[in-house]
Amino acid sequence: MSKNNKRIFIGYYNKEIDEVYDGLVYAVFVSLGFAFIENILYVVLSNSITTAIVRALCAVPSHACDAIFMGYHLSIAKQYSTKGNRKKEWVYKI
């Protein structure tokens, strides 16, 4: 794999992620940070407190729930990385 592709999977190659729970926690925190930045941009661009409240109640939990599934599948793929083609099966589920 080239050096540029390794940068994309920086979390996947991190040796600190050695359990399924680690992938879940990191994925949720990254998604909540993304949702925070996204909400700030929406509020600044729309100048509406209603937009901020609706997004806080709908978009933020949605980002966290989606990240749970992505973190789980990425962690399982990392655990199966030594077992051949099973890794591809779990990575494609992301």
Mean pLDDT of 15-27: 82
Q: What CA–CA distance (Å, rounded) separates 31 from 88?
A: 23
pLDDT for 93 equals 59
First CA to last CA across the chain, in angstroms?
20
Triad 56, 94, 26: Cα angle to 5°: 55
φ/ψ of 24, rounded to 5, equals -65, -50
* pLDDT digits 0-9 by tens, 51-92: 888 888 998 999 999 999 988 888 887 777 655 656 566 666
Mean pLDDT of 12-36: 84
Mean pLDDT of 15-20: 77
Asked whether the CA dihedral 23, 27, 28, 29 is positive or negative, the reply is: positive
